[in-house]
Amino acid sequence: MRDVAKKFFALPIEEKEKYARAVNESEGYGSDRIVSEKQVLDWLYRLTLKVFPEDKRRLNLWPRDPNDFRGTLDEFASKIKTVNNILFKAMARSLDLEENSFLNQFGDQAMMQARFNFYPPCSRPDLVFGVKPHTDRSGLTVLLQDGDVEGLQILVDSKWVRVPAIPYALVVNLGDQMQIMTNGIFKSPMHRVITNLEKMRISVAFFNEPDPEREIGAVDSLVDEHRPRLYRNVKNYGAINYECYQKGMVALDTVRI
Ligand SMILES: O=C(O)CCC(=O)C(=O)O
Ligand SMILES: [Fe+2]
């Protein structure tokens, strides 16, 4: 997977532009969609592709070059889906819930987006982030980091802690929608990516989200008089999270009761 990502980003600009993101869309190749005049751009290029539901794939945006890109993504994403389902069931059991409590909220039209991130070397790493501090919009993010260049940091007790690059490891990160569904028991951690003076970095993130048309909310048995409902039920939370991110707001605060 890393290999095809690297080959894609190494293509000439004209070739990558064939898959360019349209102005008001999030899928395709390019940099951030602009939603605010005050927006500070992240130091990266990304290719975003919807992988599931399968019938929503926009294959015209899936690179043909390298020629094993599509097959590799399809196979890797299917395996990630299997891992997700195991994790969702395990997380439900760990809270003494029926094992499909989260999966049912994701629905059979659950969405998975693959995001290929390419961070070029940056001459002023003190001035710009690869990705600004944020929490993920997803339920669960599975991240294949660069095999040797670090950059990801997580906020733990008000300190930024580096996430080591481990060649064959996947990083699993909970997103905001899981925090909503667990009524705040599982936390969606703040994280950021710093830039690097000399080295480029590549990562591939798989964002797993409930069907945006479905309303999600805290699992009933996680709400009681000791633990009142923290967040209102929401639909299409991904859009709320993106707008807030670009405006420097904390998305979960906007849906807090
Ligand atoms: O590149 C990384 O390691 C993480 C990227 C990330 O946090 C994101 O795309 O949401
Ligand atoms: Fe993230």
- 199-233, pLDDT tens digit by residue? 999 999 999 999 999 999 999 999 999 999 999 99
List all residues 6 or more positions away from 91 whose beta carbon is below 8 Å from its beta carbon.
Answer: 102, 178, 182, 186
Q: If you take atom 1 of ligand 1, which residue's CA is the nearest one?
A: 203
> 3-state SS string over 101-162?
HHHHHHCCCCEEEEEEEEECCCCCCCCCEEEEEECCCCCEEEEECCCCCCCEEEEECCEEEE
What's the confidence (pLDDT) of residue 241? 86
- d(C-alpha 174, C-alpha 186), whole Å: 8
Spacing, Cα 19 to ligand 2 middle (Å): 23
Specify the amino acid at residue 34: I
- Pocket (CB within 6 angstroms of ligand 1): 115, 117, 131, 136, 143, 145, 152, 191, 193, 203, 205
Residue 151: both structure tokens together: 């950059």
Among the listed residues 83, 31, 6, 1, the one whose alpha carbon sits nearest the alpha carbon of residue 246: 31
**How many residues comprise the chain?**
257
Percent above pLDDT 90 for the chain: 84
Residues 120-137 have pLDDT tens digits of 999 888 889 999 999 999
What's the confidence (pLDDT) of residue 189? 96
| Nearest ligand for residue 115 CA | 1
Whether ipTM exceeds 0.85: yes
Residue 67: both structure tokens together: 């020629």
What's the confidence (pLDDT) of residue 229? 97
With the most atoms of ligand 1 within 8 angstroms of its CB, the residue from 143, 170, 172, 202 to mutate is 143
| Burial of residue 7 (number of CB atoms within 10 Å: 0-12, 13-18, 19+) | middle
What's the confidence (pLDDT) of residue 194? 95
Among the listed residues 132, 109, 131, the one whose alpha carbon sits nearest the alpha carbon of residue 211: 109
What's the confidence (pLDDT) of residue 33? 73
What's the confidence (pLDDT) of residue 42? 87
Atom of ligand 1 nearest to the CA of 163: 3
pLDDT under 70: residue ranges of the chain: none
Atom of ligand 1 nearest to the CA of 151: 3
The reported pTM is 0.95
- Measured at the alpha carbon of residue 45, what is the angle toward residues 75 and 5, in degrees to the nearest 5? 30
Residue tagged 């894609």 (tokens): 8
Spacing, Cα 205 to ligand 1 middle (Å): 6
Spacing, Cα 226 to ligand 1 middle (Å): 35
